[in-house]
Structure 1
Amino acid sequence: MAAEPPKRPEAPFATRIDPEKEGGLSGEQKRFIRRVELQQWAKTTPRLRTRNVATGLAIGALVMGIYGYTFYSVSQERIMDDLDEEAKLARARGSKTGAN
């Protein structure tokens, strides 16, 4: 027969407190929690701001790169259109080498 494992005593679990219910937190406890939350925000805000600025700059650089590349490719198309027009005009005038 297998021996049964020893039973562990039941540990009390933390219960959530709804501050809106009766018997919830007192006014002083609410003020303390609010003060601690504000201190945590004050500590993490500079790091978040740095990340947000870096993300914004990266997105801005990507947008400007796409914008610049679009202008570059459109200007290349215009050059190719000009070359095509010159080639059509040259064909219309005929070859000047006399090889026809």
Structure 2
Amino acid sequence: MADKKADSPFATRVDPIKEGLSHEQLHFIRQVELAQWKKKTSQLRTRNVVTGLAIGALVLGIYGYTFYSVSQERIMDELDEEAKRARTQGPKTGAN
């Protein structure tokens, strides 16, 4: 691996306001910043889409489960009514 010095001008920060930069250097800085911004924007967009799909799937899952639960409650109510009818219509033995 190449040995890099800490004082190398490769990774130093430049403040365009304080430094006396030429028009070409400022233009190059803007181009690099724009390229970095576009790269980060596409990554964020991908993450946002994945997060949105996950939240949408969760909402649809809860919605579907709610409908399923309500339909099961109706079935249980119908079974309870049938059992009640069977008890009232059944043979009456024993002391009342």
TM (norm. structure 1) is 0.61
Q: How does 1:62-81 map to 2 (within 5 A)?
A: 62-81=54-73
Identity within the alignment, %: 6
Structure 1 gaps, min length 5:
1-11, 20-25
- Given candidates 7, 18, 33, the residue that maps to 1:14 is 7
- Given candidates 48, 67, 80, the residue that maps to 1:56 is 48
Per-residue displacement from partner, 1:35-94 (whole Å, max 9, x unpaired)?
554232112222222111111110000000000000011111101100010000000110
Q: Which runs of 4 or more aligned residues in structure 1 lie more than 4 Å from their structure 2 counterparts after TM superposition? A: 29-36
Work out the number of aligned pairs and report it. Answer: 83
Q: State the structure with bigger RCO (CA 8 A, min sep 6), 1 or 2.
A: 2
Please say which structure displays the higher CA radius of gyration. 1
